Amino acid sequence: MNDTRETRRRRHPYDAAYKLLFGNPEMVASLLRDFVPESFVAELDFATLERCSGSYVTDDLRERHTDMLWRLRWKGDTWCYLYILLEFQSTVDVWMAVRVLGYTALLWQDLIRTGRIREGERLPPVFPLVLYNGGGRWTARQDVAELLPPLTGPLAQYQPRQRYFLLEESQVPEEALRAAGSLAGLLLRLERVRKPEELLPLIDNVIACLRGPQYRRLSRAFAVWIRRVVLERAGMTPPGMPVNDLLEVRAMLADRVAQWKDEYIRQGVLQGMSIGREEGMTIGREEGMSIGREEGMLLMLRDLLESRLGALPEEVDAALRGLSDPEKLRGLMPAALHAVSYAEFLEGVKRLRASP
């Protein structure tokens, strides 16, 4: 693995939890059925869905790794390979189309080298799917041909073409998620939770979908993902919380949701009152309490952001200081709890400033 991929992995510790989820055929089938509006999906035999090795050794012995590789039957007798590339970085990979083309070529080379494709046989089709949940919009080209200069004439026919399917989570309408009612739909809805009280009904829906011993592995994967991604992002994970069972996660949340919400509100009010009393000695009780609430919310937001995203950049600190309304500062709490980068948090500040 090269330094760039290693650096990306260090920045995003949630990757393993997502891979645990999409290592289950039920999640993969749900993702394709509900969020890939292509006619060939109806021709896929999901009963044949099986996980494949995603690591290949090329001719010069350099190992390459993909994100997730599956195969299933298409039109009865043809294997179709499915790449799921999990992109949860705040910075868009502008060369994703080249990366996808490289993975596809490595897959075909491996099938030829191992004798699974013989001389005279055709190469199997490949469907690359990029699942992106970063804060900003995806701006990279989806076809490798679009990364080449415009060509006409004989030279154009010698250039490669391959397109990947982009599933940009933030652009899926809420109505589509609710209409899906599937595991993949619930996953995307849980990603969007901004209020603690919204968690419990969604987790209840997941539990209802995963009843039965055949879903034990997937149920555990959801429990791990909720704990390591949803709850850790929200700062709601108490020490020693179990991660192996959705029912245990749900029971813990039932006790913690109201308490967690009140803690942050109370913390801000108490800190604000303390600072307000001190300032009020010189500028008056009423104005001091107002400034105190503002300072309390600023302290809380700074502490929360630094605990989740690291040292507070100057531009973020300046943006917070530019908000004097304690209610607007309080309105930034969901963004502080769920942003995956300071750039995404600043987008939340801009939206709040633009609101009436």
pLDDT tens readout for residues 210-241: 988 899 899 999 988 888 888 776 666 655 66
Question: Which residue stretches of 114-182 are H helix?
Answer: 174-180
Name the DSSP letter for residue 169: G
* Band of residue 10 on the pLDDT scale cut at 50, 70, 90: very low
* The predicted structure's pLDDT at residue 328: 74
Q: Which of 278, 311, 275, 270 is nearest to 295 (CA)?
A: 275
The mean per-residue pLDDT over the stretch 155-183 comes to 90
Query: Quick one: which of 88, 52, 89, 45 has its CA closest to 70?
Result: 52
Percent helix, strand, coil in the chain, to 5, is 60, 10, 30
Which helix (H) or strand (E) covers residue 130, if one does?
A: strand 126-132
Residue type, 201: P
Beta bridge partners of 47: none
Q: 47, exposed or middle or buried, with CB in 10 Å at 0-12, 13-18, 19+?
A: exposed
Rounded to 5°, the CA angle 327-332-338 comes to 150
In the structure encoding, which two tokens stand for residue 133, read together?
């949940």
Distances (CA, A) of 40 to 32, 36, 37, 47, 75: 10, 10, 9, 16, 9
Q: What is the pLDDT of residues 177-216, one digit of tens each?
A: 888 878 999 999 988 876 667 788 898 999 999 988 899 8
pLDDT at residue 9 greater than cutoff 70: no
Q: For position 290, what pLDDT does the model report?
A: 43
Residue 65 has pLDDT above 60, yes or no: no
Is the predicted pLDDT of residue 289 greater than 50, yes or no? no
Residue 14: the pLDDT is 66
Q: Determine how many CB atoms are found less than 10 A away from the CB of residue 305.
A: 23
What's the pLDDT band for 4 if we cut at 50, 70, 90? very low
Nearest to 164 by CA among 210, 96, 105: 96
The pLDDT value recorded for residue 265 is 53
User: Which among 13-22, 60-69, 138-147, 337-346 has the top mean pLDDT?
Assistant: 138-147
Residues facing residue 64 across a β-bridge: 56
Give the residue among 332, 274, 266 at the shortest CA–CA distance from 298: 332
Q: What is the pLDDT of residue 51?
A: 93
* Biggest CA pair distance of the chain: 89
Range with lowest mean pLDDT among 258-267, 311-320, 333-342 = 258-267
pLDDT at residue 351, rounded to an integer: 83
Q: Confidence band (pLDDT; 50, 70, 90) for 1?
A: very low
Q: What is the mean pLDDT of the chain?
A: 79
Amino acid symbol at 180: A
pLDDT confidence of residue 59: 54
**Taking Cα atoms as reference points, which of 50, 43, 48, 51 lies closest to residue 74?**
43
Q: How far apart are CA 171 and CA 6, in angstroms?
A: 28
- Cβ atoms 196, 262 nearer than 8 A: no
- Please tell me which residue, 94 or 19, carries the higher pLDDT value: 94
Alpha carbons within 13 A on the beta-carbon side of 319: 19
Residue 294 predicted with pLDDT over 90: no
Q: Tell whether the torsion through CA atoms of 287, 288, 290 and 294 is positive or negative.
A: positive
pLDDT for 263 equals 59
Q: What is the pLDDT of residue 184?
A: 92
CB contact at 8 A, 203 and 226: yes
* Residue 308 three-state SS: helix
Say how many C-beta atoms besides its own lie within 10 A of residue 189's C-beta. Answer: 20
Strands 63-65 vs 69-74: parallel, antiparallel or unpaired: unpaired
> If you average pLDDT over residues 136-152, what whole number do you get?
92
Global confidence as pTM: 0.68
Q: For the chain, what percent of residues have pLDDT higher than 90?
A: 34
